[in-house]
């Protein structure tokens, strides 16, 4: 049985045309400690009273454990006819919803001895990497390189773009690679290079190499499968390709 607790909405803002950023605080006064990359589940009932839950990756930039009163952040992509989507669209500031977690193993592994991380995400699948930024900064301080590939159709659909741009400007070992399938632009910013195409198209340039690279793939299941197959072709073994697929858990 999940331990379910209430969270109260304190902020909501659009990130992209159909994606919202939400910030909640636990209203029972307890802390919500989590490891960057983990997700929570939101519990609600369908119109006929059937209990349901949906998963959301935490986006909070996590420098330390979350103390009581600190924001629990995540991004929700609205899907047409979506039951949880309707719940979020109708939320007002100070409304409470039910939550459990955190869950999941899509986290950085202290035992890795790789030289480079390839972090790949599309849509809200980029949010775990926002949460990992302080951990990544510490790793880069030890000489590890990080390449973040964010896939979207257009620049306005990129999520947390400002956070990743400023992180790239401050950290020479962090390369930010937005990949736009429907827009061909270039932006003059330190350690940032835009690509016209899918995230997979950048892999040939990066030349993933066994022993050197550990990859994380998150978001759209088709993208995760395509990148997984491509990385296997480059010789990476399954244990060094970590995956989180955003499938609907009805």
Ligand X SMILES: Cc1cc2nc3c(=O)[nH]c(=O)nc-3n(C[C@H](O)[C@H](O)[C@H](O)COP(=O)(O)OP(=O)(O)OC[C@H]3O[C@@H](n4cnc5c(N)ncnc54)[C@H](O)[C@@H]3O)c2cc1C
List residues binding ligand X (CB under 6 A). 39, 54-57, 74-77, 79, 81-85, 124, 127, 244, 246-250
When CB distances to ligand X are compared, the closest residue is 82
Task: Examine residue 77 and say whether the peptide bond preceding it is cis (omega within 30 degrees of 0).
Answer: no
| Lookup: tokens for 189 | 């910013």
**175 beta partners:** 147
Cβ at position 46, least distance to ligand X in Å: 9
| Lookup: tokens for 165 | 């741009």
Of 154 and 249, which CB lies nearer to ligand X in the complex structure? 249
Q: Which helix (H) or strand (E) holds 217?
A: strand 213-219
Cβ at position 188, least distance to ligand X in Å: 31
Cβ at position 12, least distance to ligand X in Å: 13
CB neighbours of residue 31 within 10 Å = 12
User: Angle 133-140/161-170 helices, nearest 10 degrees?
Assistant: 20
Of 136 and 159, which CB lies nearer to ligand X in the complex structure? 159
Of 60 and 114, which CB lies nearer to ligand X in the complex structure? 60
Cβ at position 141, least distance to ligand X in Å: 28
How far is C-alpha 36 from the chain's CA centre? Answer: 9
Cβ at position 34, least distance to ligand X in Å: 13
Of 85 and 201, which CB lies nearer to ligand X in the complex structure? 85
Measured distance CA(130)–CA(185) in Å, rounded: 23
Measured distance CA(78)–CA(85) in Å, rounded: 5
Of 167 and 246, which CB lies nearer to ligand X in the complex structure? 246
Of 127 and 191, which CB lies nearer to ligand X in the complex structure? 127
Alpha-carbon distances, residue 73 vs 51, 61, 114, 225, 245 (angstroms):
23, 9, 30, 27, 19
Cβ at position 52, least distance to ligand X in Å: 7
């Amino acid at each position: 049985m999940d331990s379910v607790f209430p969270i109260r909405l304190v902020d909501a803002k659009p990130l992209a045309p159909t994606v919202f950023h939400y910030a909640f605080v636990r209203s029972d006064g307890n802390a919500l400690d989590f490891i960057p990359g983990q997700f929570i589940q939101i519990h609600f009932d369908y119109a006929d009273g059937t209990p349901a839950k949906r998963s959301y990756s935490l986006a909070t930039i996590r420098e330390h454990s979350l103390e009581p009163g600190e924001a629990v952040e995540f991004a929700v992509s609205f899907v047409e006819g979506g039951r949880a989507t309707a719940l979020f669209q109708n939320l007002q500031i100070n409304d409470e919803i039910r939550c459990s977690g955190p869950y999941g193993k899509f986290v950085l592994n202290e035992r890795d001895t790789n030289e480079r991380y390839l972090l790949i995400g599309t849509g809200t699948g980029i949010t775990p990497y926002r949460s990992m930024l302080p951990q990544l900064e510490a790793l880069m301080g030890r000489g590890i390189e990080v390449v973040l590939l964010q896939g979207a159709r257009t620049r306005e659909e990129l999520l947390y773009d400002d956070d990743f741009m400023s992180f790239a400007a401050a950290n020479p070992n962090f390369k930010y690679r937005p990949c736009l399938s429907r827009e061909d632009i270039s932006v003059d910013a330190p350690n940032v290079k835009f690509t016209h195409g899918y995230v997979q198209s950048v892999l040939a340039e990066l030349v993933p190499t066994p022993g050197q690279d550990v990859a994380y793939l998150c978001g759209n299941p088709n993208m995760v499968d395509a990148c997984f197959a491509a990385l296997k072709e480059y010789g990476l073994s399954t244990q060094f390709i970590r995956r989180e697929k955003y499938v609907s858990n009805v």
